[in-house]
Amino acid sequence: MDTIVQELLDADVGKVLVNEPLANHTTIKIGGPTDLFIEPKNIDSIQRTIGIIKKHGIQWRAIGRGSNLLVSDKGIEGAVIKLGDGVDHLKIDGETITVGGGFSVIKLSTMISKKGLSGLEFASGIPGSVGGAVYMNAGAHGSDISKIIKKAHILFEDGTMEWFLNEELQYSYRTSILQKERPGICIEAVFELVSGAREEIVALMKKNKDYRRNTQPWNFPCAGSIFRNPLPNYAGRLIEDSGLKGHSIGGAKISELHGNFIVNTGTAKAQDVLDLIQFVKETIKELHDINLETEVEIIGRK
């Protein structure tokens, strides 16, 4: 590992850490260490990083701001590449914006609204990165990423990069081709927005943000929505109707504010969350004959 670390440092890729706890990089504040943690300082650095990692046969995965992510207590084998401050560029050209995968979705939606551009109002309370939002087709308030994205610059597991048009991303509810058929991460995206009345856009942004603040437990560490909505039903409503709000296992608890959120009360382990997820699945199946599927991505050593 020392040899790889030195190569990465010599290549000037950015921040390089060994045995870094991923609890420091997830919004639920849970996760064991990764063998190697790299935060590249730009897109070229990502390519250099992948080249070195591949040369040594090390498996890797990328993360953004750590929302919608549950990392095993045993951590992650291999390398984790974080798309953060080094991949957060933004270019605005009329109604078209090009933005790095590491850019905060909340920050982006706020900035864009103040410029009188409409289309990202739904994202005003989504606490992830642009790359993660593109990967999972993040959405809220009746809209999602698929409605505004023109194309995305994708980094694949073999280190190659390619631009994918909207239709090539094969979007559906909280899903894209990047999750299964063509595993990859978004390092850059181009969005097509619409000019509108700045005051109206900002007001809608505030309304959406206030709604999320009042109905979701962002005062506790959490990973966002745990389950996909089994439409036409809603996971949160099913969980609430089943009397599960407030139920806890270890340091993990189903939020009393919103049934589809599991919060870390301060001492939660990943296993606590996994056990609580399984308990909810079994209860909803027994009471409603509905199979809930997780929206949160579960990764790491078993």
For 245-265, what is each residue's pLDDT tens digit? Answer: 999 999 999 999 999 999 999
Return the closest-CA partner of residue 53 out of 125, 142, 138, 155. 155
* Angstrom distance (rounded) from CA 230 to CA 50: 37
> Does residue 174 carry a catalytic annotation?
yes
Average pLDDT, the chain: 93
Of 43-47, 147-151, 210-214, which gets the smallest average pLDDT?
210-214
Return the closest-CA partner of residue 137 out of 82, 83, 186, 89. 186
Q: Which domains does the chain have, with CATH numbers?
A: 2-86 (3.30.43.10), 88-215 (3.30.465.10), 235-299 (3.90.78.10)
Question: Residue 284 pLDDT > 90, yes or no?
Answer: yes
Question: Residue 212 pLDDT > 90, yes or no?
Answer: no
pTM for this entry: 0.87
Name the catalytic one among 7, 20, 39, 295: 295
Question: Residue 216 pLDDT > 90, yes or no?
Answer: no
Strands 184-192, 149-156: pairing kind: antiparallel
Name the catalytic one among 104, 176, 225, 255: 225
> Does residue 199 carry a catalytic annotation?
no
Report CA-CA distances (Å) from 182 to 72, 169, 202, 244, 256: 24, 9, 36, 37, 38
Residue 74 binned pLDDT confidence (cut-offs 50, 70, 90)? very high
């939660």: which residue's tokens?
268
How many CA within 13 A on the CB side of residue 75? 17
Name the catalytic one among 7, 39, 121, 174: 174
Across residues 154-175, what is the average pLDDT?
91
> Which residues neighbour 149 within 8 Å (Cβ) at sequence distance 6 or greater?
134, 166, 169, 189, 190, 191, 192
